[in-house]
Structures are given as C-alpha cells and as structure tokens.
Structure 1
Amino acid sequence: MPTIIFVHGLWIHASSWAPWIEFYRAAGYRPIAPGWPGDLETAGSTRTDPSGLAGHGLDDIAAHYAEIIDGLDEPPIVIGHSVGGAVVQKLNSTCSLRAAVAISPAPVKGVRALPIAQLRSSFPVLKDPRNASRTVALTVEQFRYGFGNTLSRAESDELYEAFAMPGPGRPIFEVATANLRRRSPAAVNTRSRTPLLFVAAEHDHTVPAVTTRGAHRLYRESPAAVDLVEIPGRAHSCVFDRGWEDVAGRVATWLKQA
C-alpha cells in the first residue's frame, strides 16, 4: 500500500486535503497530509496564533517533509500544491520517491515567466521587505483574486473561512529572487529521478498556467518521465474547491501509468 504525502501551499491549511485523503484511501493508498513547521491543528487556530510559521523558508519546509519521508519504510508519492509544488520538486532532488506531482507549483529557479497576475497575487508579501521574517494573511478580496477568481463569491468566501490562514513571507521572497541569486533555496535538480507530473490550471492567477508550463520545460532533459496536464476553466483553488475530484482523478489516472 503506497504512502502518499500531501504538501499544502502558502495561505492554506493542511486540512484542505481531507477529501483527497478519503479519495486516495478508498483507492488503496495510505495518504497523509502533515502541515508545515509551525502549523497548528486547524486553520482557525493558526489564524489566532501564526507565530510558529514566521521566518520559515523553502529549505525549512522541505527539511520537515524529508524527515517524515526518512521515517517511512518505502519511498512515498508526494503531491504538492503552489509553494507545496516547489517543495515537492526540492524533495524530488534530495529524497527517494516513488512519484511526484506538482500542482500549480510556485516557480523554481530557472522559470522565467512573470505574468502580471502572478505579481499582483504576490504583492501582499513583496510590498514590504520586512515580511520575509514574519507572517502575512490575505484579505477576503485578495484570496478571491489569487485563489477563487473562477468561483462564485459565496464559494470563495466559504473556502476562505474554512482553509485560509497566515503564511510565512519568506518563501515568496525566495521564489521572487531565485533567478537573481547564484545560490537560491528555490533551486532544484531538474534531472528528475522519478516520474513527475505538473498540473496547470487555465485561469490561475497565483501561478498562471504559463508559469507551470515553464517549470515543465526545465525538465526536458530528465531521464525520468515528466508530464504536463492542463485543466481548463480552473483557478488556484482547484485542489480544494467543489471541482477538486476532477483534479484528484486526473492525478490518480497518471499515477496508475507512472
């Protein structure tokens, strides 16, 4: 029974993976969704006290999941969304994995696309350099632009209440400056040792599809299969809004073939 580790993204609590856990458990996997270092048990409790998240960057988050992987009996599948998708690529560089999936992944070093929508989604963090060492929360309107832009206002607001929480600003600064630094926490080995799937959402503002396609192209010399699936009509909330099962199903189909 293969283990699947789900890695959530910035501003979203690990509980957002609950439907995926049930879906993959029924499909015969052993799924778990550990939070980032500093996450509390619920989105609400983390909103009340996000101090444990402050200052954590990509290296800290990846090391946290690598420790979990080291404690397993066999290599797992890792599935990550947004910043979690960048973390998955870091884990793929350093850990023994069965397969890896990056859904709308935050751009790693080498991705050149920088759409206006992506800049606008990152602005709540990048507008103040001091945010690199503290946590930042999105407003309801910022969440709707970055995550729920294809949803009704009611559904976007419902998801905000259920899953949104402050996140550390450091990963956004690390991603934004990756191509300006010789050594960057957002650098990964793009010669994948394991099957890797990228999933792009057509109307994603936070990680536009062109950005995900750019990440996929970095792996063109990879010895392992690296595939790309594009999902029409969806936004950054695609893994936890009402259409989540379509994304989970596409990933499950790929995993059977990987």
Structure 2
Amino acid sequence: MPSSFEHAQIRHANLTGRIPVVFVHGLWLLPTSWERWAQVFAEAGFAPVTPAWPSAPPAGAAPARTAPAGTAPAGTAPARTAGEVAGHFADLIGGLDRRPAVVGHCTGGLLAQILAGRGLACAAVAISPAPLQGALPLPISPPRAPVRAPADPAVVGSAVPLTYDQFRHAFANAVDEAEAERLYETFAVPAPGVPPLQAAAAFDPWSEPEVDRTAKDRGPLLLMSGEMDRIVPWAVAHASYESQVRNEHHLTEILEMPGRGHSLTVDGGWREVCGTALTFIQRFVDA
C-alpha cells in the first residue's frame, strides 16, 4: 500500500491536472535521490511523484546504515522480489488520474520497463537498467560485489548494505574521492538482497523480472547507459535494447553517456542526464 506521503503526492498530482512523472529509485538509494530531478520536471510542467519501495528504510542515508551487515534496519521489508515491487508501483500508478511517464535507475530502470510493458506509462526512461528476463549477455558482477551467495539466508531474508569501498568501486568509480565520499554519506542505504540475485539469474527465460517487449500500449522507451558503469555495463544495457527495439508499435532508443558511472543520476553531472530524460519525454508528451 502507498504510504501517507505517497498518497499526498498522488492527490497533488491529480489536483494539478498535469501529467505525472513517477521516479523509481534503484537498489542502495532512497527516493530523496530524485529530489533535484523532481524540481526540474515540475518546472517543466509535470507533476513529479517520488515513491519508495515497499516498507523502505527511514529517510536519510545515515539512519538507514545503522544496522549491522546482513540485518534489516527497522521498518524495512528486505525480502522483496522485483515482481512484488513492480506490483507496488503498479498499485500506486493506479491511483493517478492520468497515465504517467516513468523514469527509473538501476533496478528502478528494470521496474520502469516492466511497468511500461504493462501499459502503465505514456513514456519511459530506464537509466543503467538491471537486465531483463532472458537478457544476454550475462550481467557482469563487479569485484567486491555486495551480494553474497543465493543460498545464504542472511542475503535472501535481509537488507544488504554497501561499505564505502564497495560503493566507491561499483557506484562512484567515475568521480573523484571527495565526491564519492559525499555521495556515500548522502545517498547509500542497505538494499533488499533478493533483486540482485534475480538480476544475476536474468539470463534464465523463466526468471521473475518479465518485461512485455512487444506490448502495443508500451509507449516510447529510452535506455541510458554510462560509459564507465561497472554494475550495468554497455553490453548489458544494449542487450535490453536489442530485445525491445523490434517493438513495432513504439520507438525504442538507447544512449551512452560518455565518462559516466553508475552514480550518473546523483553525482555532479546529474543535470545533463536529467535534461536528456526530460527532452526525450517532452518529444512525446505535452506537459
């Protein structure tokens, strides 16, 4: 069920009469990672909605990191699958009077594609998206990956934090040390252990994160990839593009952002990425 804050955002979006834009954050981040994006889109005439995953950690990165590794901070429901989270966002979108655009990052990018494939988005932007069901080539796990073996119950049933070294290597490899430290303190939180395991198994055509690639009501789709992204390298993002570009009903595009890593939505270059997403949506949606 949407939280009281999310209900308030939905009510506000409906009252404005504007086209909503639903921002879906990825693993190890919070909805606050979209605050600057929401302001830009609001100024462009859209109604931003920045929901959390179900039973998300408390607001703010520092409080959410207080639990020991392998345990869930108070208020979390860590054993969330991608399918369960997609259902949560589908319910939230169902409360909107107008079909929204959807923008997602990392696992949020996968969720954006799932929602678009269900006909719930008038346009979608998937940034550094986790791999689709049946996607090839296999996703490349970065060294010092934060997720342990699937058989480990501490991973499957709890939240998994990132150390600073893991965050620096996987998320913030394309920025300097000072910015990496700032990003970690501002944004990094423990994440459910299940979705990364699902992403690692996405080559299986029967894995859960299913996307309807040929949906007639999918809407236009842009996939974005950072040139230096270690979590979702170009080969993985392009495989998702190749699996959807044959949708004969709607345009599918892909774009690589030079010199950018996985932190491209929150680091110092966020405005360029935001502007690119906004321009794409504005091509098809009149705010």
Q: Structures share a fold, TM > 0.5? A: yes
Change (3 A) 1:127 1:184: closer
1:127 to 132, 143, 149: 149
Match status 1:241 vs 2:267: yes
Partner of residue 27, structure 2: 10
Which of the two has higher C-alpha Rg?
Answer: 2
Q: Report 1:72-151 matches (<5 A).
A: 72-114=96-138, 118-120=140-142, 123-127=145-149, 129-130=151-152, 131-151=155-175
Q: Which runs of 5+ in 2 are unaligned?
A: 1-17, 67-72
**Structure with the bigger percentage of helix:** 1
Misfit runs of 4+, over 4 Å? none
Residues in 1 aligned to 2:90 and 2:150: alpha-carbon distance in whole angstroms: 31
Q: Displacement, 1:110?
A: 2.4
User: What TM-score do you get using the length of structure 2 for normalisation?
Assistant: 0.85
Partner of residue 225, structure 1: 251
Identity %: 35
- How many residue pairs align between the two structures? 255
Deviations 1:178-220 (A, max 9, x none): 323x532112111142111100110000111121111100012
Q: Read off the aligned partner of 1:257 and give its amino acid letter.
A: R
Residues in 2 aligned to 1:76 and 1:245: alpha-carbon distance in whole angstroms: 21
Q: Displacement, 1:128?
A: 5.4
Partner of residue 255, structure 1: 281
User: What TM-score do you get using the length of structure 1 for normalisation?
Assistant: 0.94
Residues in 2 aligned to 1:215 and 1:178: alpha-carbon distance in whole angstroms: 11
SS of 2:263's equivalent in the other structure is: helix
Residues in 2 aligned to 1:100 and 1:177: alpha-carbon distance in whole angstroms: 24
Q: Read off the aligned partner of 1:183 and give its amino acid letter.
A: W
Q: Displacement, 1:113?
A: 2.1
Q: Which runs of 5+ in 1 are unaligned?
A: none
Residues in 1 aligned to 2:149 and 2:283: alpha-carbon distance in whole angstroms: 43
Partner of residue 46, structure 1: 64
Instruction: Please identify, of 94-103 and 151-160, the stretch whose mean Cα deviation from structure 2 is larger.
Output: 94-103
Change (3 A) 1:187 1:62: same
Residues in 1 aligned to 2:207 and 2:118: alpha-carbon distance in whole angstroms: 15
SS of 2:76's equivalent in the other structure is: helix
8 Å CA contact 1:25, 1:31 repeated in 2: yes
Q: Displacement, 1:244?
A: 0.2
Change (3 A) 1:6 1:163: same
Match status 1:152 vs 2:176: yes
Residues in 1 aligned to 2:158 and 2:144: alpha-carbon distance in whole angstroms: 15
Partner of residue 53, structure 2: 36
Please provide the CA RMSD for this pair: 1.6
8 Å CA contact 1:122, 1:206 repeated in 2: no
